[in-house]
A and B are shown apart, each in its own frame.
Chain A
Amino acid sequence: MGLEQYKGDMGMCCRCSCCKFIPMQQVQGHQFSTVCPSISRFDFHAYSGGGRLNIGTAMLGDSLNYTQKLLHIVYNCQMCGACGVSCNYAMDMEVQEPLNQIRIKCVLDGKTDPALEKVIKGLRKQGSMVPARGRRGAWAAGLKLKNISRDKVDVLFHVGCLTSYDKDMHKLARATAKILKKAGVNFGIAGDKEACCGGRAYQMGYEKDFLRQAKKNMAMIKKSGVSTVVTVCADGYQAFKVLYDKFGLKKDLEVLHISEYVDRLIKGGKIKLRKKIDMAVTYHDPCRLGRMGEPWIHWKGKKIPGDRFVFDPPKEYRRGSNGVYDPPRDVLKNIAGLKLTEMTRIKEYAWCCGAGGGVNESNPEFAMWTARERIEEAASTGAEAIVTACPWCEKTFNEAVNESGSNLKVYDIVELVESAL
C-alpha cells in the first residue's frame, strides 16, 4: 500500500501551521518556540510537516514530477517526528508514517540523494552506516568482555556503528561496559560480528536495507538466546524497540536504552553513584529515545464510513506521550552535585540535534545549523554542559560547539554515570 494507505491522513491536514511550533500551551515566548528545523531553516511551507503531507497527496496523483527542488524538500528533513507531536496534540491523523512513505517511494523510484546512496553502499558492503575503518569491536580491546557468539549471557550490549567506528566515541562504549560490569550484569557484545541496526537506513527511505539488517540482527539474537538488548545509541534503541516491532520482528525481546537500564540498576540498588560532580547541566532528549522511541502500536482496521475520521477498531495514535523522558533525568538527579536545568523545548517537543534522517550526510551545513540552535538554547539555561543520550547527538553538538566557539561542554549520560561511580 505504501503512501496510498495514508491518503486519508494526509487529506486531514487543515494547514493550521501547528506543525511548525511546539505545542501552543508550551510556548514560553518568542525565542525557542519553533519545533521543526526544516521549515525554520528553509522557510517555504513545503518544508513543514503539513507542506510535506500536501506534497504526499500530490505524489499520489500523476501531476507532480520529480524536480531537484522536490528532492531538496524530501531529503532536508531530520525525520525527527516533532511536527507529528504538535499536530497530534489536536488532530487524529498519521504524520510521521506518510513522511516515511514519501522517502521510501522516492528510493523505490530511484530518486535518491547522492550522499545517502554512498552511505547505503557502505552499509551493503561493510555493514556500517559510517566508514568502517579497522575492526568493529576494536573499542573493547583489553576489557575482556563476553561475546554472545561464544558465551551464554542475559543481555546483549548493542554498540552501534558510530560508537564502534568513531574513535572519539569509543569512550561511550567503554563507559557502558564499565557500568554494566560494576552492576554485575551478565552481558556480552557481538564484537566484530555486530551488525548495523538499520534504523538510519530506514530514516533515509531504504526500507529493504533496513529489513535486511533487522533480520540479520534478530537471527543473531535468537541464536545467542539473549532476552534483553541494551543500546547506547538512540537510533539503535528506536530500531530494535520500535521498528523491529513494527515489522513483526522483535517478538518478546526486551529492548532498553542504557539510560533506562542504569535507572533500573540504581533503583534496584545494583549500582550507586557515589562521586560528586559539581556542574550545571541541561539535558537534551534525543528524538529517537524520546518521541520517536515510544512503543509501536499494532493496528489494522478500516475507516468507518460517515462524518468522522474514525476507524473500526478504534485507532490509537503514537503522539509522543510515551517516549523515554524520565529515566535519564532520574539518573542525572542521582548524581550528587549535578544541577539539572531544563531547556524550553524538552521531552516530546524537544528540538532535534540535527543529525537524523540522513541530514548529517546529505546536508551537513543544515545539520550544523540545527545543532547550533540547540547549543544556543542549552547555553541560555546557564548550564556548563549539555548532556545527551546518543552518540549522534554528541558528535553533532561537539562539532557545533567547536564551530561556534561556544564553551559549552558536551557529554553523553554514560560518561557522567561512569565518572560518578
Chain B
Amino acid sequence: MALSKDIYAAFEDVVGPEYISNDPAMMPAYHQIQFAAIILPQNTAEVQAIVKLCNKYKLTFRAVCTGWTGMFPPDIIYLDLRRMNRIVEINEKNMYAVVEPYVITAQLQAELFKRGLHMNLKGAGSNCTAMLRGHGHLDQTTSGDDRNHLAIEWVTPEGNLVHSGAAGSVDEWFCGDGPGPSLRSILTSAVPPGVTPGVFTKAAIKLYHWPGPTKFPIQGTSPNYYLSEIPPNFMARYYSFPSVEKMWNAEIKLGENEICFELMGFNVSMVAANITTSNEEDERVFKQMNKEVQGPGFFVIIAGNSAADFEYKRKVLELIVSENDGKSLKSVEDPRIEGILICQCIRISASIRETFRAGGAFNSIPVMGQRDLTIRWAVGAGKAKEPLIEKGHIVPDGGAFFGWGVEQGHLGKTEIFCKFDPANPEAKEAVEKWQREQIKRAFDERYFAMTMGPQDEIGPALANYHLWWKKVTDAIDPNKTSPDAGALV
C-alpha cells in the first residue's frame, strides 16, 4: 500500500526528506519486503510524532534496531532507529548506563571496561543493540533478560511518553520499579508476541564489576585475532564429563560456590566454531575435539579480583571438576586458544561463527527453566537431530545442545539448534519439522520454549496469561498501530 502524497509529506515534515524513503530500490536492502515507508527518526520527539501520525492515519509500525531478526508484514511503517545511537549516561556510582536503541553492546562494553564495569552480553552478539533483552554467555554472573533493564523511556503505541521506574520520578534511572511507576509487567518480553508494543527510546542497563583489563591485548589481523597474553587472574577451560548428570552436578556446585565469571554449557562443536576462521577448519577441529571429549561439557572463565582470589577460584574449580570426573580439553589449555576464547566469549559472544557461517541459517529452540530438567529435554531433542545429520540435512554436531546457568545456576537456559543451508528445501523442511516436534515435546513436558506459539495454545498452560496480555495491549494500543511489537530487535 503506497502512502498518499499528503501522508508521506506529513512524515517528511517530522524527519526531513533525507531520512524517509519509499523508493522501491530501498526495500530489498531491508527485508525484501515492500514497506509503506522507511523512516529514520533521530530522537524521542520524532518517534512520538511518527507514532502519532500512525495513529492518525491508521497505519501500523515496527521499530527496529540493528535489524538482525524479525518477521515483517508488508506495508508497515518501518522505523529504523539507527540515528538514535547515543550513550546518554554512564553512572559509575549507581552502576547503570542509559543508552538509545542503536548503541551496540560492543560500543557500550568498551566504554564500560575503561571504568572497571561491564554488562550482560546477549547471545545475539555484541553487534546487536545494548538494549536487547535476552540471555547470553555471562548470565552466570550478570543474570539475563529483564533483570538487566532498569528505568525505561517508552513511547506508547499512541505516541505518549512514559518514563518507568526512577526515571518517572527523578532524573535518574537506577531502578525500574520506583520511586516512579513500576511497569515491569507491561514493559516485558518473554511471552509471545515477544515484547511490548510501542518503542523503547532509552533504557537504563544494569552494570557489573569488571575485574579485567581496560582493553584486551589483541594481536594479529582479522580473522586471526589472539591475545598477546592472558589477562592477569583470568583463566578459561573446557571440561567434559562422563555423563549429563555429572556435568549438571558440577555446574550446580560451581554456581553454589559463585566462582565462575562465565559458565557456558557449550558443546565442542561450538568451541570449534569459535576458534576457527573457516568452515573447513571448523569441521576438521570439531572432529579432532570430538575425539578428545568424554561426553557433555561446559566452558568456564574464572576471573579473580586479586591473585589470591583467582587462586581460590581456580582451586575450587579444579576440585569440583575432579569430584565429578571432569576432563579438561587440552586444546583449550593452549594459551593462544584460551586467549581467543576469553576474548570471543566476553566481547563478541561469537554467535555468527557458531550459527550462520556454516550454511547461512539455523533454527533454534531456546528453553528457559531449571537446568537439570531442561537438559533432559535437550538430550531428547539432540537425539532427534541424528536422522537429519545422517541424511546430510544439517551440519553434524553430535546432536549437541548448549545452555548455561543464570544467576549462579538457580535458573537456566538450554538451547538447541540445527545449522543448515536454507537454499536446500528438503533440509529446510526437515529442520522445521524437527523444530515443531521438539517444541511440542517441550510444551507437553511443561517446559517453556520462547519459540512456542501461537498464544491461544500455550496461554492456558501459562495461567491464561495471553488473555490478560490481550487486555493490556488492547488498552495501550487501541488503534492497533503496533500489533506485532518488536521494539527491541
A contacts, CB < 8 Å to B? 8, 11-12, 14-18, 21, 23-30, 33, 43-46, 48, 50-52, 54-55, 57-58, 64-67, 69-70, 73, 85-86, 88-92, 305-310, 314, 316-317, 319-323, 325, 347-349
- Tell me the number of A-to-B contacts counted with CB atoms below 8 Å: 193
CB pair A17 B127 closer than 8 Å: yes
Do residues A309 and B358 form an inter-chain contact, with CB atoms below 8 A? yes
Expressed in whole angstroms, the Cα–Cα distance for A316 and B279 within the complex equals: 10
Whether A307 touches B419, Cβ cut-off 8 Å, given contacts A29-B110, A43-B19, A57-B28, is yes
Q: Which residues of A contact B347 (CB under 8 A)?
A: 24-25, 27
**Once bound together, how far apart are the Cα atoms of A93 and B123, in whole Å?**
22
Known: A14-B356, A89-B223; 15 extra A-B contacts, CB below 8 A, are A14-B360, A17-B66, A23-B222, A27-B106, A44-B40, A48-B29, A54-B30, A64-B28, A69-B25, A90-B350, A90-B353, A307-B420, A309-B279, A316-B278, A321-B222
Cβ distance B290 to chain A, nearest Cβ, rounded Å = 17
Asked if B106 and A24 sit within 8 Å, CB to CB, the answer is yes
A43 lies within 8 A of B111 (CB): no
A14, B352: Cβ atoms closer than 8 Å = yes
**Residue contact A21 to B28, C-beta cutoff 8 Å:** no
Q: Are B395 and A43 in contact (CB under 8 A)?
A: no
Q: Are B67 and A15 in contact (CB under 8 A)?
A: yes
Q: Quick check: A46 and B26 within 8 Å, CB to CB? A: yes
B125 beta carbon closer than 8 Å to chain A: yes
Most buried by A among B29, B280, B424: B29
Asked if B114 lies at the interface with its beta carbon under 8 angstroms from chain A, I say: yes
B344 / chain A contacts, CB cutoff of 8 Å:
25
Least CB separation from A74: chain B residue: B25
Q: Are A308 and B279 in contact (CB under 8 A)?
A: yes
One of A54, A67, A310 near B24 (C-beta < 8 A): A67
Residues of A within 8 A of B38 (CB): 44
Chain B residues with CB below 8 A from A89, complex form: 222-223
- Give Cα A325–Cα B109 distance, bound, in whole angstroms: 28
Q: Inside 8 A of B68's CB, which chain A residues have their CB?
A: 14-17
Given contacts A11-B423, A90-B357, A91-B352, contact A44 B29 (CB under 8 A): yes
Are A307 and B427 in contact (CB-based, < 8 A)? Answer: yes
Does B104 count as interface, using CB distance less than 8 angstroms?
yes
Q: Is the interface of B mostly helix, strand, loop or mixed?
A: loop
Quote the shortest CB–CB distance from B296 to chain A (angstroms): 23
Report yes or no: A307 in contact with B395, Cβ–Cβ below 8 A: yes
Assess the A70–B110 pair: CB atoms within 8 A: no
**Per-residue A-contact encoding for B16-43, CB less than 8 Å = 1, 0 else:** 0001010111101110100000101000
Measured CA separation A314–B68 after assembly (Å): 29
B266 shortest CB reach to chain A, Å: 17
Q: Does residue B232 face the partner (Cβ distance < 8 Å to A)?
A: no
Return 29 A-B CB contacts under 8 Å, by A number. Answer: A12-B360, A14-B360, A17-B66, A24-B106, A24-B348, A25-B347, A26-B218, A28-B110, A28-B215, A29-B111, A30-B110, A43-B80, A43-B82, A46-B26, A46-B29, A48-B29, A52-B29, A58-B28, A69-B26, A88-B222, A307-B396, A308-B395, A309-B357, A309-B359, A317-B278, A320-B221, A321-B221, A323-B221, A325-B221
Residue ranges of B at the interface with A (Cβ–Cβ < 8 Å): 19, 21, 23-26, 28-30, 32, 38, 40, 66-68, 80, 82-83, 87, 103-104, 106-111, 114, 125-128, 215-216, 218, 221-225, 277-280, 283, 343-344, 347-348, 350, 352-353, 355-361, 392-396, 419-424, 427
Contacts of B222 in A (CB 8 A): 23, 85-86, 88-89, 319-321, 348-349
By Cβ-Cβ distance, the 10 closest A-B pairs, closest first, are A46-B29, A70-B25, A51-B29, A58-B28, A90-B352, A69-B23, A27-B106, A14-B356, A17-B66, A321-B221
Q: Which residues of A contact B223 (CB under 8 A)?
A: 88-90, 319, 321
| Chain A residue contacts of B224, Cβ below 8 A | 321
* Chain A residues within an 8 Å CB radius of B83: 43
Contacts of B25 in A (CB 8 A): 46, 55, 64-67, 69-70, 73
Q: Are B126 and A44 in contact (CB under 8 A)?
A: no
Does A24 contact B127, Cβ atoms closer than 8 Å? yes
Task: Looking at the assembled complex, report how far the CB atom of A106 sits from the nearest CB atom of chain B, in whole angstroms.
Answer: 12
**Most central of A21, A44, A88 by chain B CB within 10 Å:** A44
One of B80, B127, B392 near A307 (C-beta < 8 A): B392
Which residues of chain B have C-beta atoms less than 8 A from A90's C-beta? 223, 350, 352-353, 356-357
Please indicate the chain B residues that have their CB under 8 angstroms from the CB of A52 in the complex: 29
Contacts of A309 in B (CB 8 A): 279, 357-360, 421
- The verdict on A25 contacting B279 (CB below 8 Å), with A44-B38, A89-B223, A309-B360 known, is no
Flag if B359 contacts A55 (CB, 8 Å).
no
Q: Which residues of B sit under 8 angstroms from A317, Cβ to Cβ?
A: 278
**Given the complex, which residues of A lie within 8 Å of B356, measured CB to CB?**
12, 14, 16, 90-91
Once A29-B114, A314-B280 are accepted as A-B contacts, the answer to whether A45 and B352 lie under 8 Å apart by CB is no
Is A45 a contact partner of B29 (Cβ separation < 8 A)? yes
A45, B80: Cβ atoms under 8 Å?
yes
CA A310 – CA B280 in complex, angstroms?
7
Please measure, in the bound complex, the distance between the C-alpha atom of A41 and the C-alpha atom of B225, giving whole angstroms.
29
Cα-based distance from A91 to B352 in the complex (angstroms): 7
Please give me the residue from chain A that is nearest to B107 by CB atom. Answer: A30
Instruction: Decide if A64 touches B280 in the complex (CB within 8 Å).
Output: no
Q: Are A306 and B392 also in contact (CB < 8 A) when A29-B107, A43-B40, A321-B221 are?
A: yes
In chain A, what residue has the closest Cβ to B109? A27
Q: How far is the CB of B88 from chain A (nearest CB, A)?
A: 11
Given contacts A44-B40, A92-B279, contact A21 B221 (CB under 8 A): no
Q: Which of A30, A43, A320 contacts B87 (CB 8 A)?
A: A30
Residue of B nearest to A69 (CB): B23
Minimum C-beta distance from B239 to chain A (A): 25
Chain A residue at minimal CB-CB distance from B278 = A92
Least CB distance from B420 to A in Å reads 6
Closest beta carbon of chain A to B342's beta carbon, Å? 11
What A residues does B108 contact at CB under 8 A? 30
User: Complex: how many Å from CA A320 to CA B277?
Assistant: 13
Q: How far is the CB of A357 from chain B (nearest CB, A)?
A: 18
Separation of A21 and B344 alpha carbons in the complex (Å): 16
Of the residues A8, A25, A58, A307, contact of B32 by C-beta under 8 Å: A58
Q: Is the CB of B40 within 8 A of A21?
A: no
Contacts of B67 in A (CB 8 A): 15, 17, 45
Interchain CA distance A44-B81 in the complex, whole Å: 10
Find out whether the CB atom of A27 lies under 8 angstroms from the CB atom of B359: no
A26 to chain B, nearest CB (A): 7
Give A42's nearest chain B residue, CB to CB: B18
Asked if A91 and B357 make an inter-chain contact with CB atoms under 8 angstroms apart, the answer reads yes
- Smallest Cβ distance from B6 to chain A, in angstroms? 21
Inter-chain CA distance A349–B215, complex, in Å, is 17
CA distance A43 to B224 in the complex (A): 30
Q: Evaluate contact between B359 and A307: CB separation under 8 angstroms.
A: yes
Q: Name the B residues within 8 Å of A319 (CB-CB).
A: 222-223, 277
Verify B127–A25 contact, CB threshold 8 A.
no
Given contacts A44-B80, A90-B352, A307-B427, contact A33 B107 (CB under 8 A): yes
Q: Which residue of B lies closest to A70 (CB)?
A: B25
What is the distance, in angstroms, from B101's C-beta to the closest C-beta of chain A? Answer: 13
B residues in contact with A14, CB < 8 Å: 68, 352, 355-356, 360-361
> How far is B225's CA from A85's CA once the two chains are assembled, in angstroms?
13
In the complex, what residues of B have CB within 8 A of residue A29's CB? Answer: 107, 110-111, 114
Inside 8 A of A43's CB, which chain B residues have their CB? 19, 40, 80, 82-83
A contact residues around B110 at 8 Å (CB):
27-30, 33
Q: Are B125 and A24 in contact (CB under 8 A)?
A: yes
CB proximity of B337 to chain A, nearest CB, Å: 15
B427 to A, closest residue via Cβ: A307
Closest to B103 in A: A30
What is the CA–CA distance of A321 and B343 in the complex, to the nearest angstrom? 19
Say whether, besides A14-B68, A307-B419, A25 and B348 are in contact (CB < 8 Å).
yes
Chain A residues with CB under 8 A of B422:
11
CA–CA, A26 and B224, complex, Å: 12
- Nearest-CB residue, chain B, relative to A8: B423
Q: For residue B124, which residue of chain A has the nearest CB? A: A16
- Please determine whether A21 and B80 come into contact, CB atoms closer than 8 angstroms: no
